[in-house]
């Protein structure tokens, strides 16, 4: 059996010499000699050095060992920020994919050339990144947090399916928290099994990496592992459950602390009657603030070391600014989070917890990517305001360490200003406005989005095409460009599918009669918004039935011709005073190609990868991952011609690289994420 020295990959004295250079302590010894002997010794991962600062700085519950698993039974965890847990083993874990750029953060090198060495590496990843074995120095724990879910305080939530493994310190002096998602029950599982299934794990794995390569602040995903273990899931909550394979994602971030981490101290909520498990423990809130600010905002700690209130105010101001910039990035890339509860908001301004997310295809500001969000609280256009609301809840959670009046003043002064500044800066780059900033730019952007909405234009492809807009005075190529642009607009068939009624006509008729006969009861039921939307769909369907494809095309060309004329005028103003028109044009195109991706993780692309993986073929996941690592046009590449949707009935299992940048096929409209 391997010795502890062999497991660590270096001697304990050597680790002590290294640790001051890394800002980390030597990895702690395992709980006992027998525990060390039970864990297999890693080889590829042996160089990871753990220093679990969060567990030293914050209170941790250590439940008594219980062979029956009662220690992980759902319960309140008062007076603690973490509870020690142990991953539940999976049957025959198997690696789906590794993200080499994410693993490089941890100092893990590129894959070896030899096939045998790669297989050994993948087997080790499957073992340790499934939770079936623990790395030396790892201390698994589940984080306790609360949250406002869909606007209502839900009380204790916590890591019901995720586990903090520990913090890895690298030779570069960086510190990364490792987390496994899907490793079994914790005290926060709320009667659930703590497992994640393959389809949701693939989506999180791919989107975490896609967002990073798009330039959006995000947690990272280093690995996705599946298994022969299964759980029963009712995917659409429609009474049709099925067995699905369990999977685990390795998540990487500076921290997974969130707004809800500070809500564990909340007193009883006046609407829901729920309270945080650590209500009244101001000492722990102060402890958490000290830890968060000194660890993740050291410059603020240094500047305000003698004034705690001003330190806390500077911290909240920076979180506000980061959050505003983050949501501006989402709006500029067409990303919908789907579940913007306070427990899904990062304390360091990252995108976290990829559940029912989605990227816009046809531009619709009211798009809801989460089929469970019946009221549309987290619609695409509402994300900026929702994040501001969540910051208000964070400000309330920081009181009295940050007086609420001061927190609200900071929020009012900073959030909207920072969001609009960053949003307009990004949009100018997406439109190639590289020389000047004008007040009318916000109106130009708004009119562009309105035109995209009116024509059902594809969000990603429209922006990508604009880099090839002919800007010469003769307007040569304008007709061809207009044709390319209108091909990215929604067809009549797409629109009819998008606006098809959602209610049974008899149900709608009954609701309308109730609204007339008993408006008080109708208001009490709370379906007014749904009925209004349904009436809009019916009206839109009626209009579409009267429209021919030729009329739709003519209408779309007219809308785009009008906006492009304004765009051309603005580009001419941007070029004014520049003696080198060719240099301006080159910079414009270069800026636009670096700001407008060709590829995003559309639902249909993810679904193709999931379908193949569920049949045991992981090559599509790996292929899509590589595609998403280079989402932008590269210098020297020919300008890509964006394809039309593939014909209905085309094989979904085949290599579909050629369609990754196309509008979604019609079958994708039926995809539903909850």
Identify whether residues 239 and 337 lie together within a single domain: yes
- 475 vs 12, which has greater pLDDT? 475
Domain stop point among 594, 611, 627:
594
Q: Tokens in use for 181?
A: 């998602």
Confidence of residue 638 (pLDDT cuts 50, 70, 90): low
Q: What is the pLDDT of residue 653?
A: 41
Q: What is the pLDDT of residue 35?
A: 45
Whole-structure pTM value? 0.91
pLDDT at 644 over 50: no
| pLDDT, average across residues 63-69 | 68
- 649 vs 80, which has greater pLDDT? 80
Long-range contacts of 364-371 (CB under 8 A, 24+ apart): 364/453, 364/456, 364/498, 365/449, 365/453, 367/336, 368/336, 368/338, 369/336, 369/337, 369/338, 369/673, 370/338, 370/339, 370/673, 370/674, 371/236, 371/672, 371/673, 371/674
Number of domains making up the chain: 2
pLDDT at 146 over 90: yes
| Dihedral angle, C-alpha 206, 207, 208, 213, nearest 10 ° | 90
Identify whether residues 219 and 119 lie together within a single domain: yes
- The residues, ordered by sequence, that sit 6+ positions from 631 with a Cβ below 8 Å of its Cβ are 210, 213, 214, 597, 598, 599, 600
Residue 21: inside a domain, yes or no? no
pLDDT winner (highest mean) among 72-76, 183-187, 527-531, 668-672: 183-187
Residue range of the domain that includes 532: 433-594
| pLDDT, average across residues 78-83 | 98
Q: What is the pLDDT of residue 69?
A: 59
Identify whether residues 233 and 276 lie together within a single domain: yes
Whole-number Å distance between alpha carbons of 433 and 429: 6
Confidence of residue 370 (pLDDT cuts 50, 70, 90): very high
Identify whether residues 481 and 344 lie together within a single domain: no
Instruction: Report the 10 Å Cβ neighbour count for 529.
Output: 11
Phi, psi (deg, nearest 5) at residue 187: -60, -15
- 227 vs 515, which has greater pLDDT? 227
Nearest to 479 by CA among 557, 562, 588: 557
Nearest to 599 by CA among 553, 635, 643: 643
Nearest to 533 by CA among 503, 513, 509, 497: 503
- Tell me the pLDDT of the chain averaged across its residues: 89
Identify whether residues 145 and 251 lie together within a single domain: yes
Q: What is the DSSP letter of 220?
A: E
Identify whether residues 219 and 357 lie together within a single domain: yes
Q: 194, 71 in Cβ contact below 8 A?
A: no
- The residues, ordered by sequence, that sit 6+ positions from 272 with a Cβ below 8 Å of its Cβ are 152, 153, 154, 155
Confidence of residue 626 (pLDDT cuts 50, 70, 90): very high
Q: What is the pLDDT of residue 29?
A: 42
Percent of the chain with pLDDT over 70: 89
pLDDT at 537 over 90: no
Please return the burial class of 230, using the count of CB atoms within 10 Å of its CB with bins 0-12, 13-18 and 19+: middle
pLDDT at 212 over 60: yes
- The residues, ordered by sequence, that sit 6+ positions from 63 with a Cβ below 8 Å of its Cβ are 71, 72, 83, 84, 187
Q: What is the pLDDT of residue 100?
A: 97
pLDDT at 266 over 70: yes
Q: What is the pLDDT of residue 240?
A: 84
Q: What is the pLDDT of residue 299?
A: 98
Q: 40, 159 in Cβ contact below 8 A?
A: no
Residue 201: inside a domain, yes or no? yes
Nearest to 338 by CA among 322, 360, 316: 360
Residue 630: inside a domain, yes or no? no
Q: 451, 457 in Cβ contact below 8 A?
A: yes
Residue 16: inside a domain, yes or no? no
pLDDT at 34 over 60: no
Q: What is the pLDDT of residue 640?
A: 52
Beta-strand pair 162-169/175-181: antiparallel
pLDDT at 317 over 70: yes
| pLDDT, average across residues 258-277 | 97
Report how far Cα 644 is from the mean position of its chain's Cα atoms: 28
- Residues noted as catalytic: 343
Q: 384, 327 in Cβ contact below 8 A?
A: yes
Identify whether residues 321 and 446 lie together within a single domain: no
pLDDT at 21 over 70: no
User: DSSP strand E in 33-184: where?
Assistant: 49-50, 60-61, 82-84, 94-98, 141-143, 146-149, 152-156, 162-169, 175-181
Q: What is the DSSP letter of 550?
A: H
Each residue's pLDDT tens digit, 418-472: 999 999 999 999 999 999 999 999 999 999 999 999 999 999 999 999 999 998 7
Residue 101: inside a domain, yes or no? yes
Residue 83: inside a domain, yes or no? yes
Q: What is the pLDDT of residue 512?
A: 85
Q: What is the pLDDT of residue 528?
A: 75
Whole-number Å distance between alpha carbons of 388 and 419: 10
Identify whether residues 445 and 535 lie together within a single domain: yes
Q: What is the pLDDT of residue 96?
A: 98
First vs last C-alpha separation in the chain: 46
Q: What is the pLDDT of residue 134?
A: 97
Whole-number Å distance between alpha carbons of 85 and 584: 58
Identify whether residues 129 and 235 lie together within a single domain: yes
SS3 400: coil
Identify whether residues 77 and 181 lie together within a single domain: yes
- The residues, ordered by sequence, that sit 6+ positions from 195 with a Cβ below 8 Å of its Cβ are 161, 182, 184, 229, 231, 246
SS3 230: strand
Phi, psi (deg, nearest 5) at residue 642: -75, 135
pLDDT at 64 over 60: yes
Each residue's pLDDT tens digit, 475-519: 678 899 999 999 999 999 999 888 888 788 888 888 888 788 888
pLDDT at 52 over 50: yes
pLDDT at 607 over 70: yes
Q: What is the pLDDT of residue 177?
A: 98
From residue 467, give the alpha-carbon distance in Å to each of 141, 146, 199: 48, 45, 35
Residue 316: inside a domain, yes or no? yes
Q: Tokens in use for 282?
A: 């101001």
SS3 121: helix
Phi, psi (deg, nearest 5) at residue 23: 70, 25
- 575 vs 25, which has greater pLDDT? 575
pLDDT at 3 over 60: no
Report how far Cα 268 is from the mean position of its chain's Cα atoms: 30
Q: What is the pLDDT of residue 373?
A: 92
Domain stop point among 402, 425, 446:
402
- The residues, ordered by sequence, that sit 6+ positions from 390 with a Cβ below 8 Å of its Cβ are 148, 259, 323, 340, 341, 342, 345
Identify whether residues 64 and 205 lie together within a single domain: yes
pLDDT at 24 over 90: no
Residue 643: inside a domain, yes or no? no
Q: What is the pLDDT of residue 323?
A: 98
Each residue's pLDDT tens digit, 390-425: 999 999 999 999 999 999 999 999 999 999 999 999
Whole-number Å distance between alpha carbons of 559 and 490: 13
Identify whether residues 352 and 444 lie together within a single domain: no
Find the length of the chain.
674
pLDDT at 18 over 70: no
Q: 219, 252 in Cβ contact below 8 A?
A: yes
Rg (CA), the chain: 26
Nearest to 454 by CA among 378, 560, 332: 560
Please return the burial class of 524, using the count of CB atoms within 10 Å of its CB with bins 0-12, 13-18 and 19+: exposed
């Amino acid at each position: 059996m391997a010795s502890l020295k062999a497991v660590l990959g270096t001697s304990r004295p050597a680790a002590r010499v290294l640790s001051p250079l890394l800002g980390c302590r030597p990895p702690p010894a395992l709980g006992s000699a027998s525990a060390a002997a039970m864990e297999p010794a890693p080889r590829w991962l042996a160089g990871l050095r753990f220093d679990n600062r969060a567990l030293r700085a914050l209170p941790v519950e250590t439940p008594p060992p219980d062979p029956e698993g009662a220690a992980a039974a759902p319960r309140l965890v008062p007076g603690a920020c973490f509870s020690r847990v142990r991953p539940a083993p999976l049957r025959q874990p198997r690696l789906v994919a590794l993200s080499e750029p994410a693993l490089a953060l941890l100092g893990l090198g590129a894959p070896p050339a030899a096939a045998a060495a790669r297989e050994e590496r993948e087997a080790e990843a499957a073992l340790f990144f499934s939770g079936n074995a623990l790395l030396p120095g790892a201390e698994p724990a589940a984080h306790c947090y609360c949250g406002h879910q869909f606007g209502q305080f839900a009380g204790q939530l916590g890591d019901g399916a995720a586990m903090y493994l520990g913090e890895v310190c690298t030779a570069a002096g960086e510190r990364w928290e490792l987390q496994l998602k899907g490793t079994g029950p914790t005290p926060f599982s709320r009667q659930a099994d703590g497992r994640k299934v393959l389809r949701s794990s693939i989506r999180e794995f791919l989107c975490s990496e896609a967002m990073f390569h798009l330039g959006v602040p995000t947690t990272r995903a280093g690995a996705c592992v599946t298994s022969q273990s299964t759980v029963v899931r009712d995917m659409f909550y429609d009474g049709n459950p099925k067995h699905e394979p369990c999977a685990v994602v390795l998540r990487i971030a500076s921290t997974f602390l969130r707004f809800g981490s500070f809500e564990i101290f909340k007193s009883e909520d006046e609407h829901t009657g729920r309270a945080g498990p650590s209500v009244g423990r101001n000492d722990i809130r102060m402890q958490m603030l000290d830890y968060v600010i000194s660890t993740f905002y050291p410059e603020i700690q240094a500047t305000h070391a003698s004034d705690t209130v001003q330190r806390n105010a500077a911290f909240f101001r920076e979180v506000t600014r980061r959050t505003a910039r983050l949501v501006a990035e989402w709006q500029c890339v067409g990303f919908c989070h789907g579940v913007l509860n306070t427990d899904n908001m990062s304390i360091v301004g990252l995108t976290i917890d990829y559940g029912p997310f989605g990227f816009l295809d046809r531009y619709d500001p009211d798009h809801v990517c989460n089929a469970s969000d019946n009221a549309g609280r987290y619609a695409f256009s509402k994300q900026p305001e929702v994040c501001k609301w969540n910051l208000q809840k964070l400000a309330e959670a920081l009181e009295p360490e940050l007086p609420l009046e001061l927190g609200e003043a900071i929020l009012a002064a900073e959030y909207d200003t920072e969001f609009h500044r960053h949003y307009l800066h990004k949009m100018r780059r997406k439109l190639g406005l590289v020389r000047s900033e004008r007040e009318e730019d916000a109106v130009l952007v708004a009119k562009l989005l309105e035109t995209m909405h009116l024509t059902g234009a594809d969000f990603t492809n429209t922006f990508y095409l604009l880099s090839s807009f002919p800007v010469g005075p003769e307007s040569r190529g304008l007709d061809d460009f207009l044709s390319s642009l209108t091909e990215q607009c929604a067809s009549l068939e797409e629109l009819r599918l998008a606006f098809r009624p959602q209610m049974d006509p008899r149900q709608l008729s009954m609701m309308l009669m109730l609204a007339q006969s008993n408006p008080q009861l109708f208001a009490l039921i709370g379906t007014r918004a749904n009925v209004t939307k349904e009436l809009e769909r019916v009206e839109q369907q009626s209009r579409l039935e009267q429209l021919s494809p030729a009329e739709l095309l003519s209408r779309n060309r007219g809308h785009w011709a009008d906006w492009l004329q304004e765009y051309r005028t603005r580009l001419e103003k941007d070029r004014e005073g520049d003696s080198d028109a060719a240099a301006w044009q080159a910079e414009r195109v270069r800026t636009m190609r670096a700001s407008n991706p060709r590829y995003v993780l559309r639902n249909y692309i993810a679904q193709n990868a999931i379908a193949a993986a569920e049949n045991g073929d992981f090559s599509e996941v790996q292929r899509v991952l590589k595609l998403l690592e280079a989402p932008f046009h590269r210098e020297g590449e020919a300008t890509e011609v964006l394809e039309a949707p593939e014909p209905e009935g085309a094989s979904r299992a085949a290599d579909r690289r050629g369609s990754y940048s196309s509008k979604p096929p019609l079958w994708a409209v039926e995809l539903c994420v909850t």
